Structure 1
Amino acid sequence: MKISISIVLYNNSIPMLQKTIRSVLNTTLDITLYLIDNSPIDTLNIFASMDAQIKYLHNPSNPGYGAAHNIAITNSIKSGTKYHLVLNPDVYFEDGILEHIFNYMNSHSDVGLLMPKVLYPNGDIQYLAKLLPTPWDLFARRFIPIKSYLDKLNRRYSLTFFDYSSIVEIPFISGCFMFLRTDTLKQVGLFDENYFMYLEDADLSRRIGTVTKTVLYPHVHIYHEYERGAYKNFRLLWIFIRSTFTYFNKYGWFFDIHRKKINQQTLQQLGWIES
């Protein structure tokens, strides 16, 4: 059974990308790896001949992160592939991870989206399983640099009180590693291309969660370099702000009954106690 994987590129570090691609290719599964390169120049085409399982596409018009992944996902669906993995170019993992996730998804047909435990290279947990965001969650995390306050906010929004020890449903799965069931994508659609970058993963997670389970699967882990570009680059910050407007204009700013209900259910499931 074939699995497709897509990585969207933009002037990436070659050594880091080699590490990611080796992780993907070192599997017993039958895969197709799509490298969608949004870079202005096709320098990264050196990876096109690395393996017969790689399909490289130079896309210098740079339509955005989700739109580039949609190119690969559309091909995946057309070819009848059952699963598609959306993967960041700064993620790597050990042998057997894809096989483990593949077997879990095969035996749990009620799961449409899965993310494993995500670690920093030093082994610390990245708290990338989140509630559906409110405007205040996103504003405060970016513009209020008070550690004590952010720790309290993240304890709830980023679920840092949870120890990542059990399989749980989470409404917002990070786009760094989204293992997707293509039949589910046929129901809810692909990435919303109105987002150039940022929050397209929150949007897709939310839509998938209306028809099937979106789960954190902590029994396997991956490593993610995670540079948080919007915190360091004004252009990326502006893109992030535009994405927040796109997201909340779509789902509601302060009155979002679905968000409130799903977040309350998630907190109750995880045993949240208000402090």
Structure 2
Amino acid sequence: MTASIVLYNNDRKILLESINSFLNSDTKESLYLYLIDNSPTDELKDLIVHPKVEYISNPSNPGFGAAHNIAIKNALKLDSRYHLVLNPDVYFETTTIDLLLNFMNDQPNVGNVMPKVLYPDGNLQYLCKFLPTPYDWIGRRFNPFKKMVEKRNDYFEMRFTGYNKVMDVPYLSGCFMFLRVDALKKIGFFDEGIFMYGEETDLCRRLIDGGYRTVFYPKTIIYHHFEKGSHKSFRLTKIGMQSAIYYFNKWGWFFDKRRKQINSQILRKINENE
């Protein structure tokens, strides 16, 4: 099994926590980790020296998905069965990887699985979502009516499910994507037209169209130092808007029949299993 973390001027302590979470996993699988450094310099090169870690300096910074694609292509050469896309601010217990490996081995039609995600203080992060409409990604953010936004969040972020059961989810967060490599061989890697934000949405959607399930698995937990950077930086806000425009130009803005089909099918499945 392989994994990749994309770096960009990261906090060393938090990054090491993420690296060690993966390397210290209690599993019989052979593990290998790629660090793809999009930073302008290679100052993080000396962060860790380990036989199962490969550091790749990538100062041209082609984006989040493009950097992970470098690692995924290398993973194919190692004949990896599973590849973990891991954020540099995520950490987890030693049993997490093995629990997910067992789940994926038992469910060959699952292309991507994500565990329950908590803040370090133990509060839940709502990272399961339906495929977005333009309102969900653009209009919702600028809506001044909080009650209206919260009502939409209850649906869009699937809060009504309780986040306490295994379920199919159309759009899983990119902070922790446990991917089946055979599925990536079939449907392709991250769309490099998206610099950052939304590349996981696009990939989940293509996995579903390729006949694979994308699943939330709350029987194991990870912790995420989550900050909405796009809400604090004009540059990241601009990148987020550009990504949204690219995504909706690709899949459809207000008239997207397939989005409606996927969301409706999964909602129906959730209701049937209650």
Tell me, in whole angstroms, the C-alpha distance in 2 between the residues paired with 1:82 and 1:110: 14
Tell me, in whole angstroms, the C-alpha distance in 1 between the residues paired with 2:144 and 2:224: 24
Tell me, in whole angstroms, the C-alpha distance in 1 between the residues paired with 2:138 and 2:99: 37
In structure 1, the residue matched to 2:18 is: 20
Tell me, in whole angstroms, the C-alpha distance in 1 between the residues paired with 2:241 and 2:134: 11
- Look up the SS of the partner of 1:161 in the other structure: helix
In structure 2, the residue matched to 1:228 is: 228
Tell me, in whole angstroms, the C-alpha distance in 1 between the residues paired with 2:244 and 2:206: 17
Tell me, in whole angstroms, the C-alpha distance in 1 between the residues paired with 2:243 and 2:194: 6
In structure 1, the residue matched to 2:8 is: 10
Could you tell me how far 1:48 is from its partner in structure 2?
Answer: 4.2
In structure 1, the residue matched to 2:214 is: 214
| Pairs within 5 Å for 1:122-271 | 122-210=121-209, 211-271=211-271
Tell me, in whole angstroms, the C-alpha distance in 2 between the residues paired with 1:207 and 1:86: 16
Amino acid at match of 1:266: I
Runs of 4+ in 1 over 4 A off after TM superposition: none
RMSD: 1.2
**Does the CA-based 8 Å contact 2:12-2:47 persist in structure 1?**
no
| Pairs within 5 Å for 1:9-158 | 9-27=7-25, 28=27, 29-49=29-49, 51-158=50-157
Q: Deviations over 1:241-272 (max 9, x none)?
A: 00001100000001110101111122222339
- Look up the SS of the partner of 2:172 in the other structure: coil
Could you tell me how far 1:193 is from its partner in structure 2?
Answer: 0.1
Amino acid at match of 1:13: D
Tell me, in whole angstroms, the C-alpha distance in 2 between the residues paired with 1:60 and 1:155: 40
**Does the CA-based 8 Å contact 1:192-1:204 persist in structure 2?**
yes
Amino acid at match of 2:9: N
Q: Deviations over 1:164-198 (max 9, x none)?
A: 12111111011000000000001100000000001
Is 196-205 or 154-163 further displaced after alignment?
154-163
5+ residue gaps, structure 2: none
Tell me, in whole angstroms, the C-alpha distance in 1 between the residues paired with 2:53 and 2:144: 42
Tell me, in whole angstroms, the C-alpha distance in 1 between the residues paired with 2:24 and 2:48: 17
Could you tell me how far 1:77 is from its partner in structure 2?
Answer: 1.4
* TM-score, scaled relative to structure 2: 0.96
Q: Deviations over 1:135-155 (max 9, x none)?
A: 011123321243212210101
* TM-score, scaled relative to structure 1: 0.95
**Does the CA-based 8 Å contact 1:16-1:90 persist in structure 2?**
yes
Could you tell me how far 1:78 is from its partner in structure 2?
Answer: 2.3
**Does the CA-based 8 Å contact 1:208-1:214 persist in structure 2?**
yes
Could you tell me how far 1:200 is from its partner in structure 2?
Answer: 0.3
Amino acid at match of 2:227: E
Amino acid at match of 1:212: Y
Tell me, in whole angstroms, the C-alpha distance in 2 between the residues paired with 1:145 and 1:226: 23
**Does the CA-based 8 Å contact 2:168-2:216 persist in structure 1?**
yes
- Look up the SS of the partner of 1:43 in the other structure: coil
Tell me, in whole angstroms, the C-alpha distance in 1 between the residues paired with 2:19 and 2:55: 12
5+ residue gaps, structure 1: none
Q: Deviations over 1:205-239 (max 9, x none)?
A: 00001121110011101001111100000000000
**Does the CA-based 8 Å contact 1:140-1:150 persist in structure 2?**
no
**Does the CA-based 8 Å contact 1:167-1:217 persist in structure 2?**
yes
Equivalenced residues, count: 269
Q: Deviations over 1:113-166 (max 9, x none)?
A: 101111111111111110000001112332124321221010111111111121
**Does the CA-based 8 Å contact 1:131-1:159 persist in structure 2?**
yes
